[in-house]
Amino acid sequence: MSFEEDSSLKKEEWLWQPDIECELNVFGRPDKTTLVFGVFYLNRLLRDEKKVITTLFHKLKRLLDPWNKYYPWNQFKGVEIAITKMDDGLPYIFGSLCVEDNIEQEESLLVAILHEFSRSEGMDVFIKICDTEGDFVLMECNDVLPDEYESPIGNNRVWLQEGKFKIIPHTFHPERGLRSDEALNFLMNSYYACVIPASINKRLEEKVLYGFPKKNLKDLVQLPLKISNEKHMKILRNNPQLISLILKNSLDERITLEGCDSTPNCKSKEFRILTPIKHCKIISFYLNCLSTPYEKKSLPSLCGQLISKSLDDLIEKRILDTLPLEWKEDVSKDSLQEELCALDLLDKPFEHEMVRMDALSKDRTSYSDIGSEEEVMSRFQKFFSEAGKLDSIDEDKINDSDSESGESEVDEEEEIRKYFERENIDIDEEDFFEFFLTEALKVKKEDLKHYQNTEPEVPVAKFDKEYDQEVLEQLDEFFQSRDEDGGNEDVLELLQALSVDGSVNGPLDILMRNLRE
Protein backbone atom coordinates (compact mmCIF):
# COMPACT_ATOMS: atom_id res chain seq x y z
CA MET A 1 0.00 0.00 0.00
CA SER A 2 1.37 3.39 -0.97
CA PHE A 3 1.72 6.30 1.46
CA GLU A 4 3.45 8.80 -0.81
CA GLU A 5 1.86 11.97 -2.10
CA ASP A 6 1.76 12.43 -5.86
CA SER A 7 2.60 8.76 -6.26
CA SER A 8 2.70 7.01 -9.61
CA LEU A 9 -0.67 5.58 -8.61
CA LYS A 10 -2.26 8.82 -9.77
CA LYS A 11 -4.24 8.11 -12.92
CA GLU A 12 -6.79 10.87 -12.56
CA GLU A 13 -8.31 10.31 -15.99
CA TRP A 14 -9.46 6.82 -14.95
CA LEU A 15 -11.73 8.38 -12.33
CA TRP A 16 -13.73 10.57 -14.71
CA GLN A 17 -15.94 9.66 -17.65
CA PRO A 18 -16.25 12.03 -20.66
CA ASP A 19 -19.03 14.61 -20.32
CA ILE A 20 -20.16 13.98 -23.90
CA GLU A 21 -20.46 10.83 -25.99
CA CYS A 22 -17.18 10.14 -27.74
CA GLU A 23 -14.96 7.33 -28.93
CA LEU A 24 -13.25 5.38 -26.20
CA ASN A 25 -9.61 6.31 -25.77
CA VAL A 26 -7.82 3.10 -24.86
CA PHE A 27 -4.37 4.67 -24.62
CA GLY A 28 -3.18 5.20 -21.08
CA ARG A 29 -5.69 2.66 -19.77
CA PRO A 30 -4.54 -0.45 -17.88
CA ASP A 31 -4.46 -3.76 -19.73
CA LYS A 32 -6.73 -5.29 -17.07
CA THR A 33 -10.01 -3.98 -15.69
CA THR A 34 -9.27 -1.85 -12.64
CA LEU A 35 -11.67 -0.37 -10.10
CA VAL A 36 -10.74 3.18 -9.09
CA PHE A 37 -12.19 5.52 -6.49
CA GLY A 38 -11.65 9.02 -5.15
CA VAL A 39 -12.39 10.18 -1.60
CA PHE A 40 -12.98 13.94 -1.36
CA TYR A 41 -13.58 16.21 1.62
CA LEU A 42 -15.66 19.13 0.31
CA ASN A 43 -16.32 22.04 2.65
CA ARG A 44 -15.92 25.58 1.35
CA LEU A 45 -15.19 26.89 4.87
CA LEU A 46 -12.30 24.48 5.42
CA ARG A 47 -8.82 25.98 5.28
CA ASP A 48 -6.59 22.96 5.97
CA GLU A 49 -7.82 20.27 3.57
CA LYS A 50 -4.51 18.40 3.67
CA LYS A 51 -4.78 17.71 7.40
CA VAL A 52 -8.33 16.39 7.07
CA ILE A 53 -7.47 14.23 4.05
CA THR A 54 -4.49 12.76 5.91
CA THR A 55 -6.77 11.82 8.80
CA LEU A 56 -9.25 10.22 6.39
CA PHE A 57 -6.39 8.36 4.69
CA HIS A 58 -5.36 6.63 7.92
CA LYS A 59 -8.97 5.76 8.80
CA LEU A 60 -9.48 4.20 5.38
CA LYS A 61 -6.16 2.39 5.59
CA ARG A 62 -7.19 0.86 8.92
CA LEU A 63 -10.40 -0.42 7.34
CA LEU A 64 -8.59 -1.84 4.29
CA ASP A 65 -5.63 -3.41 6.13
CA PRO A 66 -7.29 -6.71 7.17
CA TRP A 67 -8.54 -7.31 3.62
CA ASN A 68 -5.19 -6.39 2.06
CA LYS A 69 -3.32 -8.71 4.43
CA TYR A 70 -5.51 -11.80 4.34
CA TYR A 71 -8.03 -11.74 1.48
CA PRO A 72 -7.03 -13.76 -1.66
CA TRP A 73 -7.28 -10.93 -4.21
CA ASN A 74 -6.86 -12.19 -7.77
CA GLN A 75 -3.73 -10.03 -8.26
CA PHE A 76 -2.50 -10.51 -4.65
CA LYS A 77 -1.58 -6.87 -3.97
CA GLY A 78 -5.06 -5.76 -2.99
CA VAL A 79 -6.27 -2.16 -2.73
CA GLU A 80 -3.69 0.57 -3.22
CA ILE A 81 -4.34 4.10 -1.94
CA ALA A 82 -2.44 7.38 -2.06
CA ILE A 83 -3.00 11.07 -1.36
CA THR A 84 -2.85 13.12 -4.53
CA LYS A 85 -4.24 16.41 -5.90
CA MET A 86 -6.60 17.72 -8.54
CA ASP A 87 -5.26 20.25 -11.05
CA ASP A 88 -6.52 23.12 -8.87
CA GLY A 89 -4.63 21.78 -5.84
CA LEU A 90 -7.57 20.10 -4.08
CA PRO A 91 -6.18 17.06 -2.18
CA TYR A 92 -8.02 13.75 -2.24
CA ILE A 93 -7.44 10.03 -1.76
CA PHE A 94 -7.07 8.02 -4.95
CA GLY A 95 -7.43 4.25 -4.77
CA SER A 96 -7.27 1.36 -7.22
CA LEU A 97 -7.77 -2.40 -7.36
CA CYS A 98 -7.18 -4.68 -10.36
CA VAL A 99 -10.31 -6.84 -10.55
CA GLU A 100 -9.74 -8.43 -13.99
CA ASP A 101 -10.14 -12.11 -13.13
CA ASN A 102 -12.75 -11.86 -10.37
CA ILE A 103 -14.71 -8.73 -11.24
CA GLU A 104 -18.09 -9.46 -9.68
CA GLN A 105 -16.83 -10.56 -6.26
CA GLU A 106 -14.01 -8.05 -5.84
CA GLU A 107 -15.90 -5.00 -7.09
CA SER A 108 -18.81 -5.85 -4.79
CA LEU A 109 -16.47 -6.29 -1.84
CA LEU A 110 -14.63 -3.00 -2.35
CA VAL A 111 -17.87 -1.05 -2.89
CA ALA A 112 -19.18 -2.52 0.38
CA ILE A 113 -15.99 -1.49 2.22
CA LEU A 114 -16.22 2.07 0.85
CA HIS A 115 -19.93 2.16 1.74
CA GLU A 116 -19.04 1.22 5.34
CA PHE A 117 -16.40 3.97 5.39
CA SER A 118 -18.87 6.51 3.99
CA ARG A 119 -21.47 5.75 6.68
CA SER A 120 -19.12 6.85 9.44
CA GLU A 121 -17.45 9.93 7.97
CA GLY A 122 -20.14 12.59 7.76
CA MET A 123 -21.76 14.77 5.13
CA ASP A 124 -18.57 16.44 3.84
CA VAL A 125 -17.02 13.19 2.58
CA PHE A 126 -17.92 12.26 -1.01
CA ILE A 127 -16.70 9.12 -2.77
CA LYS A 128 -16.70 8.50 -6.52
CA ILE A 129 -16.40 4.89 -7.67
CA CYS A 130 -16.03 3.49 -11.19
CA ASP A 131 -13.80 1.14 -13.14
CA THR A 132 -11.77 1.51 -16.30
CA GLU A 133 -14.67 0.14 -18.35
CA GLY A 134 -17.05 2.91 -17.19
CA ASP A 135 -19.47 3.71 -14.37
CA PHE A 136 -20.30 0.16 -13.30
CA VAL A 137 -22.58 1.44 -10.51
CA LEU A 138 -24.95 2.84 -13.14
CA MET A 139 -24.49 -0.28 -15.28
CA GLU A 140 -25.48 -2.47 -12.33
CA CYS A 141 -28.72 -0.48 -12.01
CA ASN A 142 -29.37 -0.01 -15.72
CA ASP A 143 -32.88 -1.50 -15.67
CA VAL A 144 -34.05 0.79 -12.83
CA LEU A 145 -32.09 3.86 -13.90
CA PRO A 146 -34.28 6.86 -14.86
CA ASP A 147 -33.99 7.67 -18.56
CA GLU A 148 -32.64 11.15 -17.88
CA TYR A 149 -29.46 9.64 -16.40
CA GLU A 150 -28.56 7.38 -19.32
CA SER A 151 -24.98 7.70 -20.59
CA PRO A 152 -23.45 10.16 -21.19
CA ILE A 153 -25.84 12.41 -19.20
CA GLY A 154 -25.26 10.37 -16.04
CA ASN A 155 -21.47 10.54 -16.29
CA ASN A 156 -19.74 11.79 -13.12
CA ARG A 157 -23.07 12.39 -11.34
CA VAL A 158 -23.18 9.37 -8.99
CA TRP A 159 -21.55 9.85 -5.57
CA LEU A 160 -21.51 8.01 -2.26
CA GLN A 161 -22.24 10.22 0.77
CA GLU A 162 -23.22 9.19 4.32
CA GLY A 163 -23.84 5.62 3.17
CA LYS A 164 -26.22 6.60 0.33
CA PHE A 165 -25.69 6.71 -3.41
CA LYS A 166 -26.72 10.16 -4.57
CA ILE A 167 -27.00 11.73 -8.02
CA ILE A 168 -26.31 15.30 -9.06
CA PRO A 169 -29.65 16.25 -10.70
CA HIS A 170 -29.96 16.15 -14.48
CA THR A 171 -31.28 19.73 -14.44
CA PHE A 172 -27.67 20.82 -13.88
CA HIS A 173 -26.29 20.79 -17.45
CA PRO A 174 -29.12 18.57 -18.75
CA GLU A 175 -27.63 18.23 -22.23
CA ARG A 176 -24.50 16.30 -21.17
CA GLY A 177 -22.53 14.68 -18.38
CA LEU A 178 -20.44 16.70 -15.94
CA ARG A 179 -16.78 17.62 -15.97
CA SER A 180 -14.81 16.89 -12.82
CA ASP A 181 -14.64 20.54 -11.71
CA GLU A 182 -18.38 21.01 -12.28
CA ALA A 183 -19.26 17.95 -10.20
CA LEU A 184 -16.96 18.92 -7.32
CA ASN A 185 -18.16 22.55 -7.27
CA PHE A 186 -21.80 21.44 -7.20
CA LEU A 187 -21.16 19.07 -4.29
CA MET A 188 -19.26 21.72 -2.37
CA ASN A 189 -21.96 24.39 -2.78
CA SER A 190 -25.27 22.57 -3.40
CA TYR A 191 -24.92 18.98 -2.15
CA TYR A 192 -28.36 19.25 -0.51
CA ALA A 193 -29.91 19.37 -4.01
CA CYS A 194 -28.65 15.88 -4.90
CA VAL A 195 -31.23 13.24 -5.73
CA ILE A 196 -31.37 10.06 -3.64
CA PRO A 197 -32.92 7.49 -6.04
CA ALA A 198 -34.64 4.81 -3.96
CA SER A 199 -34.61 2.27 -6.80
CA ILE A 200 -30.83 2.50 -7.26
CA ASN A 201 -30.05 2.33 -3.54
CA LYS A 202 -32.41 -0.63 -3.14
CA ARG A 203 -30.82 -2.49 -6.05
CA LEU A 204 -27.28 -1.92 -4.74
CA GLU A 205 -28.34 -2.86 -1.23
CA GLU A 206 -29.74 -6.16 -2.48
CA LYS A 207 -26.97 -7.11 -4.94
CA VAL A 208 -23.83 -5.55 -3.45
CA LEU A 209 -24.13 -4.31 0.12
CA TYR A 210 -26.43 -6.75 1.91
CA GLY A 211 -24.72 -9.12 4.33
CA PHE A 212 -21.30 -7.41 4.31
CA PRO A 213 -18.84 -8.73 5.40
CA LYS A 214 -20.18 -12.21 6.20
CA LYS A 215 -21.61 -12.72 2.72
CA ASN A 216 -18.24 -11.84 1.18
CA LEU A 217 -16.39 -14.16 3.55
CA LYS A 218 -18.73 -17.02 2.63
CA ASP A 219 -17.46 -16.72 -0.94
CA LEU A 220 -14.27 -18.33 0.43
CA VAL A 221 -14.10 -22.08 1.03
CA GLN A 222 -11.44 -24.29 2.60
CA LEU A 223 -9.44 -26.13 -0.05
CA PRO A 224 -7.46 -29.12 1.31
CA LEU A 225 -4.00 -29.46 -0.21
CA LYS A 226 -1.19 -31.98 0.16
CA ILE A 227 2.16 -30.46 -0.74
CA SER A 228 5.47 -32.29 -0.44
CA ASN A 229 7.73 -29.34 -1.34
CA GLU A 230 8.75 -27.67 1.95
CA LYS A 231 9.57 -24.34 0.29
CA HIS A 232 6.17 -24.17 -1.37
CA MET A 233 4.51 -25.14 1.91
CA LYS A 234 6.24 -22.29 3.73
CA ILE A 235 5.34 -19.72 1.07
CA LEU A 236 1.67 -20.71 1.16
CA ARG A 237 1.41 -20.93 4.94
CA ASN A 238 2.85 -17.44 5.31
CA ASN A 239 1.03 -15.99 2.28
CA PRO A 240 -2.22 -17.96 1.85
CA GLN A 241 -3.75 -15.09 -0.15
CA LEU A 242 -1.44 -16.12 -3.04
CA ILE A 243 -3.83 -18.94 -3.94
CA SER A 244 -5.91 -16.95 -6.45
CA LEU A 245 -2.85 -15.70 -8.32
CA ILE A 246 -1.38 -19.22 -8.40
CA LEU A 247 -4.54 -20.81 -9.78
CA LYS A 248 -5.00 -18.13 -12.43
CA ASN A 249 -1.35 -18.52 -13.45
CA SER A 250 -1.95 -22.23 -14.04
CA LEU A 251 -4.53 -21.26 -16.68
CA ASP A 252 -2.51 -18.46 -18.24
CA GLU A 253 0.61 -20.61 -18.57
CA ARG A 254 -1.16 -23.83 -19.63
CA ILE A 255 0.00 -25.74 -16.57
CA THR A 256 -1.93 -29.01 -16.33
CA LEU A 257 -2.28 -32.06 -14.12
CA GLU A 258 -1.01 -34.37 -16.86
CA GLY A 259 1.94 -36.37 -15.58
CA CYS A 260 1.01 -35.85 -11.92
CA ASP A 261 0.86 -38.86 -9.62
CA SER A 262 -2.84 -39.66 -9.11
CA THR A 263 -2.22 -42.04 -6.19
CA PRO A 264 -2.60 -40.58 -2.68
CA ASN A 265 0.71 -39.36 -1.30
CA CYS A 266 0.99 -40.28 2.37
CA LYS A 267 4.24 -38.33 2.82
CA SER A 268 2.79 -34.98 1.76
CA LYS A 269 1.52 -32.70 4.50
CA GLU A 270 -2.11 -31.67 4.24
CA PHE A 271 -3.38 -28.23 5.15
CA ARG A 272 -6.34 -26.08 4.20
CA ILE A 273 -6.27 -22.76 2.42
CA LEU A 274 -9.11 -20.28 1.88
CA THR A 275 -9.94 -20.06 -1.81
CA PRO A 276 -12.62 -18.10 -3.72
CA ILE A 277 -15.38 -20.41 -4.93
CA LYS A 278 -14.99 -19.05 -8.47
CA HIS A 279 -11.31 -20.02 -8.58
CA CYS A 280 -12.14 -23.58 -7.54
CA LYS A 281 -13.70 -23.98 -10.98
CA ILE A 282 -10.18 -23.86 -12.41
CA ILE A 283 -9.32 -27.01 -10.47
CA SER A 284 -12.60 -28.57 -11.57
CA PHE A 285 -11.71 -27.93 -15.21
CA TYR A 286 -8.29 -29.59 -14.85
CA LEU A 287 -9.74 -32.61 -13.08
CA ASN A 288 -12.32 -33.07 -15.83
CA CYS A 289 -9.56 -32.96 -18.46
CA LEU A 290 -7.29 -35.44 -16.66
CA SER A 291 -6.71 -38.49 -18.85
CA THR A 292 -5.82 -40.97 -16.10
CA PRO A 293 -8.21 -42.34 -13.47
CA TYR A 294 -7.90 -41.23 -9.85
CA GLU A 295 -9.54 -41.88 -6.50
CA LYS A 296 -11.50 -39.25 -4.59
CA LYS A 297 -9.00 -39.43 -1.73
CA SER A 298 -6.29 -38.36 -4.20
CA LEU A 299 -7.89 -34.95 -4.81
CA PRO A 300 -5.93 -33.03 -2.12
CA SER A 301 -2.70 -34.47 -3.52
CA LEU A 302 -3.63 -33.63 -7.13
CA CYS A 303 -4.65 -30.10 -6.13
CA GLY A 304 -1.38 -29.70 -4.26
CA GLN A 305 0.64 -30.85 -7.28
CA LEU A 306 -1.15 -28.33 -9.53
CA ILE A 307 -0.45 -25.55 -7.01
CA SER A 308 3.22 -26.58 -6.75
CA LYS A 309 3.71 -26.62 -10.53
CA SER A 310 2.17 -23.17 -10.90
CA LEU A 311 4.12 -21.81 -7.93
CA ASP A 312 7.34 -23.17 -9.45
CA ASP A 313 6.53 -21.26 -12.63
CA LEU A 314 6.00 -18.00 -10.69
CA ILE A 315 9.28 -18.52 -8.83
CA GLU A 316 11.22 -19.33 -12.01
CA LYS A 317 9.93 -16.17 -13.71
CA ARG A 318 10.79 -14.14 -10.58
CA ILE A 319 7.22 -12.87 -10.35
CA LEU A 320 7.17 -13.55 -6.61
CA ASP A 321 10.17 -11.23 -6.24
CA THR A 322 7.93 -8.30 -7.21
CA LEU A 323 5.31 -9.09 -4.52
CA PRO A 324 5.36 -7.96 -0.87
CA LEU A 325 5.48 -11.48 0.60
CA GLU A 326 5.52 -12.19 4.33
CA TRP A 327 7.97 -14.56 6.01
CA LYS A 328 6.47 -14.59 9.49
CA GLU A 329 4.88 -17.33 11.58
CA ASP A 330 2.01 -19.28 10.06
CA VAL A 331 -1.05 -17.16 9.36
CA SER A 332 -4.19 -18.37 11.10
CA LYS A 333 -7.03 -19.15 8.73
CA ASP A 334 -9.22 -16.93 10.93
CA SER A 335 -6.86 -13.92 11.00
CA LEU A 336 -9.13 -11.91 8.68
CA GLN A 337 -12.21 -12.67 10.75
CA GLU A 338 -10.42 -11.84 13.99
CA GLU A 339 -9.41 -8.41 12.70
CA LEU A 340 -12.91 -7.73 11.38
CA CYS A 341 -14.30 -8.59 14.81
CA ALA A 342 -11.85 -6.09 16.33
CA LEU A 343 -13.27 -3.45 13.96
CA ASP A 344 -16.84 -4.40 15.02
CA LEU A 345 -17.66 -5.43 11.46
CA LEU A 346 -18.26 -9.07 12.43
CA ASP A 347 -19.98 -10.36 15.57
CA LYS A 348 -17.88 -13.49 15.93
CA PRO A 349 -15.71 -15.76 13.77
CA PHE A 350 -17.37 -18.66 11.96
CA GLU A 351 -16.03 -21.78 10.27
CA HIS A 352 -15.61 -21.57 6.52
CA GLU A 353 -17.21 -24.42 4.59
CA MET A 354 -15.04 -27.10 3.03
CA VAL A 355 -15.00 -27.20 -0.74
CA ARG A 356 -17.08 -30.11 -2.01
CA MET A 357 -14.46 -32.45 -3.42
CA ASP A 358 -17.16 -34.54 -5.13
CA ALA A 359 -18.30 -31.38 -6.94
CA LEU A 360 -14.75 -30.69 -8.13
CA SER A 361 -14.70 -34.03 -9.93
CA LYS A 362 -18.42 -34.12 -10.80
CA ASP A 363 -19.35 -35.98 -14.00
CA ARG A 364 -15.73 -36.49 -14.86
CA THR A 365 -15.01 -38.27 -18.16
CA SER A 366 -11.64 -39.89 -18.87
CA TYR A 367 -10.06 -39.21 -22.23
CA SER A 368 -8.49 -41.96 -24.31
CA ASP A 369 -4.94 -41.69 -25.53
CA ILE A 370 -5.49 -39.62 -28.69
CA GLY A 371 -3.43 -37.31 -30.84
CA SER A 372 -2.85 -33.74 -29.69
CA GLU A 373 -5.06 -32.11 -32.36
CA GLU A 374 -7.93 -34.48 -31.69
CA GLU A 375 -7.49 -33.89 -27.97
CA VAL A 376 -7.87 -30.15 -28.56
CA MET A 377 -11.21 -30.68 -30.31
CA SER A 378 -12.35 -33.17 -27.69
CA ARG A 379 -11.60 -30.72 -24.91
CA PHE A 380 -13.31 -27.89 -26.71
CA GLN A 381 -16.42 -30.03 -27.32
CA LYS A 382 -16.51 -31.08 -23.67
CA PHE A 383 -15.91 -27.54 -22.48
CA PHE A 384 -18.78 -26.25 -24.65
CA SER A 385 -21.28 -28.96 -23.77
CA GLU A 386 -20.59 -28.74 -20.04
CA ALA A 387 -20.27 -24.98 -19.67
CA GLY A 388 -22.96 -24.95 -17.01
CA LYS A 389 -21.28 -27.69 -15.03
CA LEU A 390 -18.25 -25.50 -14.25
CA ASP A 391 -20.52 -23.76 -11.75
CA SER A 392 -21.03 -27.00 -9.84
CA ILE A 393 -19.05 -25.71 -6.84
CA ASP A 394 -22.09 -23.57 -6.00
CA GLU A 395 -24.79 -25.89 -4.68
CA ASP A 396 -27.62 -23.65 -5.82
CA LYS A 397 -26.28 -23.68 -9.36
CA ILE A 398 -25.95 -27.46 -9.24
CA ASN A 399 -29.64 -27.72 -8.45
CA ASP A 400 -30.49 -25.23 -11.19
CA SER A 401 -28.35 -26.72 -13.95
CA ASP A 402 -28.62 -30.50 -13.38
CA SER A 403 -31.16 -32.17 -15.68
CA GLU A 404 -32.89 -35.53 -15.37
CA SER A 405 -31.27 -38.45 -17.21
CA GLY A 406 -32.98 -39.56 -20.38
CA GLU A 407 -34.27 -36.14 -21.40
CA SER A 408 -34.83 -35.57 -25.07
CA GLU A 409 -32.48 -33.59 -27.28
CA VAL A 410 -35.00 -30.72 -27.29
CA ASP A 411 -34.96 -30.62 -23.48
CA GLU A 412 -31.18 -30.46 -23.46
CA GLU A 413 -31.15 -27.57 -25.91
CA GLU A 414 -33.76 -25.78 -23.82
CA GLU A 415 -31.58 -26.31 -20.72
CA ILE A 416 -28.59 -24.75 -22.48
CA ARG A 417 -30.68 -21.78 -23.58
CA LYS A 418 -32.05 -21.26 -20.06
CA TYR A 419 -28.55 -21.46 -18.59
CA PHE A 420 -27.21 -18.71 -20.85
CA GLU A 421 -30.24 -16.52 -20.12
CA ARG A 422 -30.02 -17.18 -16.36
CA GLU A 423 -26.31 -16.31 -16.24
CA ASN A 424 -26.85 -13.27 -18.48
CA ILE A 425 -24.19 -14.49 -20.88
CA ASP A 426 -23.86 -12.49 -24.08
CA ILE A 427 -21.78 -14.22 -26.74
CA ASP A 428 -19.48 -11.73 -28.38
CA GLU A 429 -17.36 -12.84 -31.33
CA GLU A 430 -14.10 -11.53 -29.89
CA ASP A 431 -14.80 -13.05 -26.45
CA PHE A 432 -15.69 -16.39 -28.06
CA PHE A 433 -12.47 -16.43 -30.07
CA GLU A 434 -10.35 -15.53 -27.04
CA PHE A 435 -12.15 -18.17 -24.95
CA PHE A 436 -11.59 -20.78 -27.68
CA LEU A 437 -7.87 -20.05 -27.95
CA THR A 438 -7.05 -19.71 -24.24
CA GLU A 439 -9.24 -22.46 -22.77
CA ALA A 440 -9.49 -25.04 -25.56
CA LEU A 441 -6.20 -24.56 -27.39
CA LYS A 442 -4.26 -23.31 -24.33
CA VAL A 443 -2.81 -20.32 -26.18
CA LYS A 444 -1.14 -17.82 -23.86
CA LYS A 445 -2.87 -14.46 -23.53
CA GLU A 446 0.19 -12.57 -24.75
CA ASP A 447 0.16 -14.65 -27.97
CA LEU A 448 -3.46 -13.83 -28.83
CA LYS A 449 -2.47 -10.90 -31.04
CA HIS A 450 -0.89 -13.35 -33.53
CA TYR A 451 -4.29 -14.92 -34.13
CA GLN A 452 -6.32 -11.72 -34.39
CA ASN A 453 -7.00 -9.62 -37.46
CA THR A 454 -5.81 -6.15 -36.48
CA GLU A 455 -7.48 -4.38 -39.45
CA PRO A 456 -10.88 -5.97 -40.03
CA GLU A 457 -12.54 -4.90 -43.26
CA VAL A 458 -15.98 -5.75 -41.96
CA PRO A 459 -17.14 -4.11 -38.70
CA VAL A 460 -17.98 -6.56 -35.96
CA ALA A 461 -21.37 -6.20 -34.34
CA LYS A 462 -22.69 -7.85 -31.21
CA PHE A 463 -24.97 -10.81 -31.79
CA ASP A 464 -28.60 -10.50 -30.91
CA LYS A 465 -30.35 -13.15 -28.81
CA GLU A 466 -31.82 -14.85 -31.88
CA TYR A 467 -28.38 -15.24 -33.43
CA ASP A 468 -26.90 -16.41 -30.10
CA GLN A 469 -29.43 -19.24 -30.05
CA GLU A 470 -28.64 -20.12 -33.66
CA VAL A 471 -24.92 -20.28 -32.83
CA LEU A 472 -25.52 -22.60 -29.89
CA GLU A 473 -27.82 -24.90 -31.84
CA GLN A 474 -25.43 -25.17 -34.79
CA LEU A 475 -22.40 -25.81 -32.59
CA ASP A 476 -24.28 -28.42 -30.58
CA GLU A 477 -25.57 -30.18 -33.73
CA PHE A 478 -22.13 -30.00 -35.32
CA PHE A 479 -20.29 -31.57 -32.39
CA GLN A 480 -22.90 -34.31 -32.01
CA SER A 481 -22.52 -35.25 -35.67
CA ARG A 482 -18.74 -35.34 -35.23
CA ASP A 483 -19.18 -37.73 -32.33
CA GLU A 484 -21.29 -40.08 -34.46
CA ASP A 485 -19.13 -40.37 -37.56
CA GLY A 486 -15.75 -39.71 -35.90
CA GLY A 487 -14.60 -37.33 -38.63
CA ASN A 488 -12.75 -34.16 -37.88
CA GLU A 489 -10.53 -33.44 -40.89
CA ASP A 490 -12.29 -30.25 -41.92
CA VAL A 491 -12.26 -29.11 -38.30
CA LEU A 492 -8.49 -29.47 -38.19
CA GLU A 493 -8.31 -27.43 -41.40
CA LEU A 494 -10.46 -24.83 -39.70
CA LEU A 495 -8.01 -24.64 -36.79
CA GLN A 496 -5.23 -23.87 -39.24
CA ALA A 497 -7.41 -21.22 -40.94
CA LEU A 498 -7.93 -19.42 -37.64
CA SER A 499 -4.21 -18.63 -37.38
CA VAL A 500 -3.75 -17.45 -40.99
CA ASP A 501 -2.69 -13.80 -41.21
CA GLY A 502 -4.92 -11.45 -43.16
CA SER A 503 -8.19 -13.27 -42.56
CA VAL A 504 -10.95 -10.99 -43.86
CA ASN A 505 -13.81 -11.88 -41.57
CA GLY A 506 -13.87 -12.56 -37.84
CA PRO A 507 -12.95 -16.07 -36.59
CA LEU A 508 -16.47 -16.89 -35.46
CA ASP A 509 -17.85 -16.04 -38.92
CA ILE A 510 -15.29 -18.42 -40.41
CA LEU A 511 -16.30 -21.05 -37.89
CA MET A 512 -20.00 -20.63 -38.59
CA ARG A 513 -19.49 -20.69 -42.37
CA ASN A 514 -17.64 -24.02 -42.06
CA LEU A 515 -20.42 -25.38 -39.89
CA ARG A 516 -23.06 -24.48 -42.49
CA GLU A 517 -21.06 -26.20 -45.27
- Within a 10 A sphere around the Cβ of 476, how many other Cβ atoms? 17
Per-domain residue ranges of the chain? 12-212, 218-360, 372-516
Q: What is the pTM of this model?
A: 0.68
Regions of the chain short of the pLDDT cut 50:
1-10, 363-373, 387-409, 455-463, 499-506
Decide: 132 and 33 in contact? Cβ < 8 Å: yes
Tell me the three state secondary structure of residue 186.
helix
Q: Tell me the backbone φ, ψ of residue 354, rounded to 5 degrees.
A: -80, 145
DSSP secondary structure letters along 84-110 = EE-TTS-EEEEEEEE-TTSHHHHHHHH
Helix (H) or strand (E) holding 476: helix 465-485
Please answer whether residues 17 and 134 qualify as being in contact, where contact means their C-beta atoms are separated by less than 8 angstroms: yes
Q: Are strands 91-98 and 34-41 parallel, antiparallel or unpaired?
A: antiparallel
Tell me if the bond preceding 264 is cis, omega within 30° of 0.
no
Residue 124 backbone phi and psi in degrees, to 5: -90, -5
Residue pair 72/243 in contact by the 8 Å Cβ criterion: yes
Give pLDDT, residue 296. 78
Burial class (CB in 10 A: 0-12, 13-18, 19+), 478: middle
d(CA 11, CA 8): 8
Q: What is the pLDDT of residue 385?
A: 54
Helix (H) or strand (E) holding 203: helix 198-204
Please compute Rg for the chain using Cα positions: 25
Which SS3 state, helix, strand or coil, does residue 128 take?
strand
* Three-class HEC string of 38-66: EEEECCCCCCCHHHHHHHHHHHHHHHHHH
The three-point CA angle 386-389-391 to 5° equals 140
pLDDT at res. 423 = 58
Distance CA 145, CA 135 (A): 13
Task: Note whether 297 and 264 are within 8 A (CB).
Answer: yes
Nearest to 92 by CA among 203, 172, 12: 12
Q: Could you tell me the maximum CA-CA distance found in the chain, to the nearest angstrom?
A: 80
**Nearest CA among 320, 355, 129 for reference residue 234:** 320
pLDDT digits over 420-447, tens only? 666 555 555 566 667 666 666 656 666 6
User: Which 8-state DSSP code applies to residue 366?
Assistant: P
